[in-house]
């Protein structure tokens, strides 16, 4: 006998716990999350997501800028910069991304600045993979950083009032994924190379110390 009284689909109720990891909050009605996590989900595509701050990106931005100057004539750097340039007018991007690209293009966004913003977020991911959380958060931040090469403007409502508006998190995530697919390999090698450049002198001095321990200068080597 079937028990017709119990529904086969369990509907969310106010008393359910929030689906975000480690949260004991109550679900907002019809949401899997409490108010705080639902808001974060909407803003960053992850209930525990966040926007990387300019402060934590600063050091990576500076390192990337220095290294871009060092490697400015490298074919891969030129190609990556050209790729950013094509994004501005590409008809192949999703429509919602194209809308943002038209905004960037109209405001005169520089492809090299777009690349630098992408590399800064990628650098933070590269050196702090364990600390930045889920992959989707990184992807969202990559797209967001480049889409904000030119800050969002104000819109005027029908009543004539100005209001600021934010970027759509889905658009950030989808563009972030496109960037990872197209520039991920370049960015990973770029940061490996930065690392070598930074650690280069330290590694060389370690190697020198080891060599002297193995064979002191006083020893004759034939
Ligand atoms: Zn919650």
- For residue 32, the enclosing domain spans 19-48
In terms of domains, do 141 and 165 share one? yes
In terms of domains, do 127 and 179 share one? yes
> Ligand 1 mean position to 25 CA, how many Å?
5
Tally of CB atoms within 10 A around 114: 25
Residue 64 lies in a domain: yes
Helices 135-147, 169-214: inter-axial angle, 10-degree rounding:
110
What pLDDT was estimated at residue 136?
87
> Ligand 1 mean position to 169 CA, how many Å?
19
Residue 81 lies in a domain: yes
> Ligand 1 mean position to 51 CA, how many Å?
18
CA distance 122 to 5: 53
In terms of domains, do 71 and 114 share one? yes
Q: Which residues of the chain have pLDDT under 50?
A: 14
What is the 3 state secondary structure string of the chain?
CCCCCCCCCCCCCCCCECCCCCCCCECCCCCCCCHHHHHHHHHHCCCCCCCCCHHHHHHHHHHHHHHHHHCCCCHHHHHHHHHHHHHCCCCCCCHHHHHHHHHHHHCCCCHHHHHHHHHHHHHHHHHCCCCCCCHHHHHHHHHHHHHCCCCCCEEECCCCCEEECCCCHHHHHHHHHHHHHHHHHHHHHHHHHHHHHHHHHHHHHHHHHHHHHHCCCCCCCC
> Ligand 1 mean position to 6 CA, how many Å?
28
In terms of domains, do 84 and 171 share one? yes
In terms of domains, do 25 and 98 share one? no
Structural domains of the chain, count: 2
> Ligand 1 mean position to 22 CA, how many Å?
8
What pLDDT was estimated at residue 94?
97
Residue 105 lies in a domain: yes
Residue 220 lies in a domain: no
Q: For residue 180, what are its two tokens?
A: 């990872």
> Ligand 1 mean position to 36 CA, how many Å?
6
Residue 217 lies in a domain: no
Residue 4 lies in a domain: no
Counting other chains too, the contacts that 185-188 makes at CB distance below 8 Å and 24 or more residues apart are: 186/76, 186/79, 186/80, 187/118, 187/119, 187/122, 187/126, 188/122, 188/126
In terms of domains, do 65 and 36 share one? no
Closest C-alpha among 7, 37, 38 to residue 23: 37
What pLDDT was estimated at residue 160?
82
> Ligand 1 mean position to 152 CA, how many Å?
29
What pLDDT was estimated at residue 8?
61
In terms of domains, do 23 and 88 share one? no
> Ligand 1 mean position to 7 CA, how many Å?
26
Residue 3 lies in a domain: no
> Ligand 1 mean position to 125 CA, how many Å?
25
Mean pLDDT of the residues in the chain: 87
CA distance 147 to 109: 10
Q: What is the pLDDT of residues 99-152, one digit of tens each?
A: 999 999 999 999 999 999 999 999 999 888 776 667 889 999 999 999 999 988
CA distance 42 to 123: 25
> Ligand 1 mean position to 146 CA, how many Å?
29
In terms of domains, do 82 and 175 share one? yes
In terms of domains, do 168 and 96 share one? yes
> Ligand 1 mean position to 207 CA, how many Å?
51
In terms of domains, do 106 and 29 share one? no
> Ligand 1 mean position to 32 CA, how many Å?
9
In terms of domains, do 124 and 100 share one? yes
In terms of domains, do 67 and 120 share one? yes
Q: For residue 162, what are its two tokens?
A: 């100005």
Residue 86 lies in a domain: yes
What pLDDT was estimated at residue 1?
55
What pLDDT was estimated at residue 31?
86
């Amino acid at each position: 006998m079937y028990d017709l009284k119990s529904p086969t689909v369990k509907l969310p109720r106010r008393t359910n716990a929030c689906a975000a990891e480690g949260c004991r909050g109550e679900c907002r009605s019809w949401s899997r999350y409490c108010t705080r996590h639902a808001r974060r989900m909407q803003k960053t595509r992850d209930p525990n997501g966040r926007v990387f701050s300019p402060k934590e990106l600063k050091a990576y931005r500076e390192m990337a800028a220095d290294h871009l100057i060092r490697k400015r004539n490298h074919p891969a750097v030129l190609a990556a910069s050209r790729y950013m340039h094509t994004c501005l007018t590409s008809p192949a991007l999703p429509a919602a991304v194209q809308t943002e690209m038209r905004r960037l293009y109209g405001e005169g966004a520089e492809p090299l600045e777009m690349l630098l913003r992408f590399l800064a977020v990628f650098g933070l991911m590269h050196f702090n993979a364990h600390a930045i959380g889920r992959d989707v958060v990184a992807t969202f931040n990559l797209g967001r950083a480049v889409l904000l090469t030119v800050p969002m403007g104000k819109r005027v409502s029908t009543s004539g009032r100005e209001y600021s508006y934010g970027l759509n998190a889905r658009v950030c995530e989808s563009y972030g994924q496109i960037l990872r697919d197209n520039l991920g390999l370049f960015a990973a090698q770029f940061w490996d190379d930065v690392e070598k450049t930074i650690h280069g002198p330290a590694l060389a001095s370690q190697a020198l110390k080891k060599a002297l321990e193995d064979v002191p200068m006083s020893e004759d080597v034939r």
